[in-house]
Amino acid sequence: MVKLGNFLFHYRNILFPIFYILLFIPSPALFANYWTAIGIGLLVILLGQVVRGMTIGLDYIIRGGRDRRVYAEDLVTTGIFSHCRNPLYVGNLLVLLGLGIAANSVYFVFIMMPLFMFFYQAIVLAEENFLRNKFGSGFDDYTQDVNRWWFNWKGLGETLSNASFKWKRFVLKEYNSTYTWLIGVLLLAAKHQYFEDYTLLEQNHIYYLTLLLLFTAVYLYIKFLKKTKRLVSN
């Protein structure tokens, strides 16, 4: 599993786009009403975004690796990492699950999601192997106190109240992924109406286009601020 995890970590940047495309494959429906699917999916996505936001805004760990290999300078055990060892991955899983629900796709939720979770488990085992070799007993002690996937909610309020939220870092780190899932939900809603209620899509297409342009404008503006260093991480 560690070898598989290292392989998947090396190519991890193509995993999410592949699964993103699979959202649009025809599938039996989870719910009779697609708006129910979109509503529930959005709630799950927002939960995942909150988890990611708390992680990035508080004590953040750089997950990019080095030369597309697992790497870490420090062992981060504070912030949200004191409640879960992999909160960013938990957030990612929730966002992807929410998109699968919004897609109203039985195939995605019950086949693609377990596969994606298996891939993440392999990547996490590879990361843990690296951290154990580098930090030794310090990492082992950490794993004894903090779960790999499940959140320990005890003391979360204290963690949040004792830390300052780095909103600039949150914006700079999250604007791309937030734009991706927003456009995904928008396209899925349009897809549902195209196949199930085309006349309604014709009536509402101007709203879809307006939201698409609005989301894209905000995305490009933040990208411009980042590139010109007018907005830098605090």
What does the pLDDT look like over 49-100, one tens digit per residue?
Answer: 999 988 888 766 665 555 566 666 677 787 888 889 899 999 999 999 999 9
pLDDT band at 145 (very low <50, low <70, confident <90, very high): confident
- Residue 204, pLDDT > 90, answer no
Which 8-state DSSP code applies to residue 65? -
Nearest 5°: phi and psi at 136? 60, -130
pTM of the entire predicted model: 0.87
Q: Which residue has the tokens 């597309």?
A: 68
> 149: Cβ–Cβ under 8 A, 6 or more apart, which residues?
84, 85, 86, 90
Nearest 5°: phi and psi at 23? -60, -25
Q: Which option is the CATH number for 2-164: 1.20.120, 1.10.760, 1.25.40, 1.10.3470?
A: 1.20.120
Query: What is the per-residue pLDDT across 3-56, written as a single tens digit (0 to 9) for each?
Result: 776 677 676 778 788 888 899 999 999 999 999 999 999 999 999 999 998 888
DSSP 114-147: HHHHHHHHHHHHHHHHHHHHHHTHHHHHHHHHS-
Contact criterion met (CB below 8 Å) for 76 and 177: no
| C-alpha span between 65 and 55 (Å, rounded) | 17
HSE, side-chain direction, 13 A CA sphere, residue 179 = 18
Among 5, 37, 13, CA closest to 23: 37
Tokens of 142: 């950490």
